[in-house]
Chains A and B, each alone.
Chain A
Amino acid sequence: EDKVVQSPLSLVVHEGDTVTLNCSYEVTNFRSLLWYKQEKKAPTFLFMLTSSGIEKKSGRLSSILDKKELFSILNITATQTGDSAIYLCAVDPRRNDMRFGAGTRLTVKP
C-alpha cells in the first residue's frame, strides 16, 4: 500500500533557526513529490520535485528529492514567526490519486 511518512510530526524553534523537515514515501509508479504549506485552511503550493538531486529554492525555502532512497527534505533557513504552519508532503503516483503525509506542525517562536 502506498504511504507517505513525514517527520517530525511537530517542531518548535526560535526565530532565526534553520529547520529540516523530512518526507519518506513508498508508492508505485512515482511521478512527483509536492510540498505544501497549510496555515489556516487551504494548503498553498511550495514545490514540485520530479528529479533526484536537483534542489528547488524559493527565498528561504529549499527542497530536494532522493528517488533512490525515497525521501525528500524541506529546508527553511532564518525562520520567522510567519513560517509557523503545517507543512504537508504529498506524492503523486501516475494514477493521479495524491497521497499526503500527516504533516509537520512547525511553530516558530519570537
Chain B
Amino acid sequence: KAGVTQTPRYLIKTRGQQVTLSCSPISGHRSVSWYQQTPGQGLQFLFEYFSETQRNKGNFPGRFSGRQFSNSRSEMNVSTLELGDSALYLCASSIGTGKDEQYFGPGTRLTVT
C-alpha cells in the first residue's frame, strides 16, 4: 500500500506570491491533517479535513486555507506569502478523525525569498 505522498517536495517562492501544496493520503484514509514545521515554532497544526469538510483549524491567519476532494486528496493554499512562511509543510492521513495511527508524508519544503 502506497504511503502518503506530497507534491511538490521543494518549492521556492517570493514574497507576495501564493502557493498550493498537494497531499494524497493512504488509500482508504479519509482524514487529512496539515502541519507547519519550523525550527523556531516546532510542529504546529494547521487544519484537518474529513470527508471534504474542515473539522478544525489551528491558530493561523486566513492566508492559509485548504480543501479536500471527494477522493480524499487535499490541497493547502497560502496566499500573499511572507518570509516567515518558509517551513516544512507536512500532511498526515488517518482512517478516521482519531489520531492514533496518523501517517505523515515526506513534506514540502517551502522557501520564501
CA gap between A45 and B44 in the complex, in Å: 16
Interchain CB contact under 8 A, A98 and B45: yes
Contacts of A45 in B (CB 8 A): 101-103
* Number of residue pairs A-B, CB distance < 8 angstroms: 55
Give how many A residues have a beta carbon under 8 Å from the other chain's beta carbons. 20
Binary contact readout A5-20 vs B (1 if CB under 8 angstroms, 0 otherwise): 0000000000000000
Interface of A is mostly: strand
A96 at the interface (CB under 8 A from B): yes
Shortest Cβ distance from B57 into A: residue: A97
With an 8 Å Cβ cutoff, the count of chain B residues facing the other chain is 25
- At the interface, yes or no: A44 with Cβ under 8 Å from chain B? yes
Q: Is the CB of A43 within 8 A of B43?
A: yes
Chain A 56-86 interface 0/1 with B at a Cβ cutoff of 8 Å (1 = within): 0000000000000000000000000000000
How far is B6's CA from A77's CA once the two chains are assembled, in angstroms?
34
Contacts A43-B90, A90-B99, A101-B42 known; 12 new A-B pairs at CB < 8 A: A32-B98, A34-B99, A41-B90, A42-B4, A48-B100, A92-B99, A96-B48, A96-B56, A96-B97, A97-B48, A97-B57, A100-B44
10 residue pairs bridging A and B, Cβ less than 8 Å apart: A32-B98, A42-B106, A43-B104, A96-B48, A96-B56, A97-B45, A100-B42, A100-B45, A101-B42, A103-B43
